[in-house]
Amino acid sequence: MKEKVLSEHFSIDNFFKLDVYLKHNGYQAVTKALTELNPEKILKEAKAANLRGRGGAGFPAGVKWGFVPQNGDKPKYLCVNADEGEPGTIKDRYIMTHNPHLLLEGIIISAYCVGINTAYIYIRGEYENIALRLETAIDEAFQKGFLGKDILGSGFDLDITVHRGAGAYICGEETALLESLEGKRGNPRLKPPFPASIGLFQCPTVINNVETLSNIPAIILKGAEWFCALGLPNDGGTRIFGVSGMVKNPGIYELPVGTSLKDLIFKYAGGMKEGKKLKAVIPGGMSAPILKADEIDIAMDCDTLMKADSMLGSGAVIVLDEDTSILDVLKIITKFYAHESCGQCTPCRIGNSWIKKIVTRISQGGGKEGDIDNIARLASNMLGKTLCPLGDAAAMPILSIVKKFRDEIETSIK
């Protein structure tokens, strides 16, 4: 049995309730952090743990917290990214449904470390039932004195508000999330300034993913060294991989960072459905460049996948079998990004809608010579040239598909 940090208790009945959570050492991490440790010690531990962001970009959480200026007189904010919009991604739903108090502990400790008294959980609008569960958990924690004023006599105050989005993938991008939280359209902001200095309501702001923060309690209780040993020195801990598509057992698998993708699919998720052959894998949510069947002997960690020109992203693994038409995959991907582009900058707005038109035309039998090159050209013109990373998130998977599956797409054109 592999050690689990986040999902160990998922199967315990009513674990989402505070009294059950407390019976399993609940709120020990908060107690330790607030009564035995000071913010500097916690920051040092978080940095040493090499906890890489689980939301997509893989940025080390401790380093991010360290960017927040500590000498200003403005309030500081923590925004928890629970937007979970990256296609394929299911993990935050599991954490919030089965272990909401673990997330709350992570929020409390992080906020204490950075000197934050107000946190917002920005949760995708569709997760209404989960939002209600979180609100109940917050009420319970408040009543037991884990939230509110002078928590556990430490002098530290914290308030948490659950804020529901309303159906826009782009609001998962951190600066769009801030705009949305301020009651506006989710149009991403130009960076710099970075949210750490000018974020929510123009104040210093930390934005972290649900899974990222949920790792903090274990790091506090067991230490950074343990956390790194569990995963990799540069990328500590476990990941909740979400496996979906043409495997026997789709679902979540919490495994050490660095687990082989091949094992994830064939050992843990039961292998291919109906004995079909594997065709390709999207290893980190839809924005991650595709891997062909012969490229899956690879460790699932941020740096290794980046070196392979792909991305660990949100750890969402989508498995395609031999019967999957790559043109259908391309069609869905391009439709998605054309729909979700906020329209603020030209390469993304025009590029995505043109790519979608070309791909749709090809799939209707009207493909022309030069189409594939045009798709690649339009996608390349988005790379690195847009206001927010959605441009790249669209361009990268599209480019990888036309590069790796050019022959197959060409058969639909001729």
Partner 1 sequence: MSLEFSDKTKKTIYKIIARYPQKEAALLPVLHVIQKEFGQISAEEEILAASLLGISQVKVREVVSFYTMFNRKAVGKYHIQVCSNLTCTLMGADNVLNFIEEKLGIKPGETTPDKKFTLSTVECLGACEKAPSMMINFDYYGYLDKEKINKILDNLE
Ligand X SMILES: Cc1cc2nc3c(=O)[nH]c(=O)nc-3n(C[C@H](O)[C@H](O)[C@H](O)COP(=O)(O)O)c2cc1C
Select from ligand X, ligand SF4, partner 1, none the partner in contact with residue 377, using the beta carbon and a kind-dependent cut-off of 5 to 8 Å. Answer: none
Check the CA dihedral 264-266-270-274 and report its sign: positive
Looking at the Cβ atoms of 88 and 204, the one nearer to partner 1 is 88
Check the CA dihedral 54-108-99-229 and report its sign: positive
Select from ligand X, ligand SF4, partner 1, none the partner in contact with residue 56, using the beta carbon and a kind-dependent cut-off of 5 to 8 Å. Answer: ligand X
Mutual angle of helices 346-361 and 390-404, in 10-degree steps: 30
Looking at the Cβ atoms of 20 and 57, the one nearer to ligand X is 57
The candidate with the shortest Cα–Cα distance to 146, out of 92, 109, 194, is: 109
Rounded to whole angstroms, the Cα distance separating 227 from 245 reads: 30
Which residue type sits at 278?
A: L
What the block records as the tokens of 69 is 């200026």
Rounded to whole angstroms, the Cα distance separating 132 from 110 reads: 23
Site residues for ligand SF4, 115-174, by CB under 6 A, read 170
Is residue 115 a contact point for partner 1 (CB under 8 A)?
A: no
Site residues for ligand SF4, 250-279, by CB under 6 A, read none
Q: Which residues contact 117 (CB under 8 A, 6 or more apart)?
A: 75, 76, 111, 156, 157, 158, 159
Site residues for partner 1, 172-231, by CB under 8 A, read 180-186, 201
Is residue 391 a contact point for ligand SF4 (CB under 6 A)?
A: yes
Measure Cα distances from 368 to 317, 329, 333, 374 in Å: 32, 19, 20, 10
Site residues for partner 1, 314-333, by CB under 8 A, read 316, 318, 320, 324, 328-329, 332-333
- Tell me the closest approach of the beta carbon of residue 300 to ligand SF4, in angstroms: 27
DSSP 8-class letter at 202: G
Of 7-15, 162-170, 219-227, 365-373: span binding partner 1 (CB under 8 A)? 162-170
Is residue 396 a contact point for ligand SF4 (CB under 6 A)?
A: no
Three-state DSSP class for 400?
helix
DSSP 8-class letter at 200: G
- Tell me the closest approach of the beta carbon of residue 165 to ligand SF4, in angstroms: 15
Rounded to whole angstroms, the Cα distance separating 405 from 89 reads: 24
- Tell me the closest approach of the beta carbon of residue 350 to ligand SF4, in angstroms: 9
Is residue 388 a contact point for ligand SF4 (CB under 6 A)?
A: yes
Site residues for ligand SF4, 188-207, by CB under 6 A, read 188
Is residue 341 a contact point for ligand SF4 (CB under 6 A)?
A: yes
- Where residue 192 falls (left for φ over 0; alpha for ψ -120 to 50; beta otherwise) is beta
Residues lying near ligand X in the complex (CB under 6 A): 53-57, 59, 61, 81, 83-86, 170, 172-174, 207-209, 212, 388-390, 393
Looking at the Cβ atoms of 91 and 279, the one nearer to ligand X is 91
Applying CB under 6 A, what is the total number of residues that bind ligand SF4?
14
Measure Cα distances from 386 to 170, 333, 346, 379 in Å: 14, 18, 8, 11
Buried b (16+ CB within 10 A) or exposed e, 12-44: eeebbbbeebeeeebbebbbebbeebebeebbb
- The residue from 175, 208, 238, 244 that contacts partner 1 (CB under 8 A) is 244
119 near 106, Cβ under 8 Å?
Answer: no
Which residue type sits at 342?
A: C
- The residue from 58, 62, 85, 195 that contacts partner 1 (CB under 8 A) is 85
Phi, psi of 173, deg, nearest 5: -70, 135
- The residue from 209, 259, 344, 400 that contacts ligand SF4 (CB under 6 A) is 344
Q: Which residue is nearest to ligand SF4 (CB)?
A: 348
Select from partner 1, ligand SF4, ligand X, none the partner in contact with residue 329, using the beta carbon and a kind-dependent cut-off of 5 to 8 Å. Answer: partner 1
- The residue from 276, 349, 361, 404 that contacts ligand SF4 (CB under 6 A) is 349
- The residue from 345, 358, 359, 378 that contacts ligand SF4 (CB under 6 A) is 345
- The residue from 90, 103, 114, 342 that contacts ligand SF4 (CB under 6 A) is 342
Q: What are the residues binding ligand SF4 (CB under 6 A)?
A: 170, 188, 341-345, 348-349, 386-388, 390-391
Q: What are the residues binding partner 1 (CB under 8 A)?
A: 75, 84-90, 92-93, 124-129, 161, 163-169, 180-186, 201, 242-246, 250-252, 282, 286, 316, 318, 320, 324, 328-329, 332-333, 336, 339-340
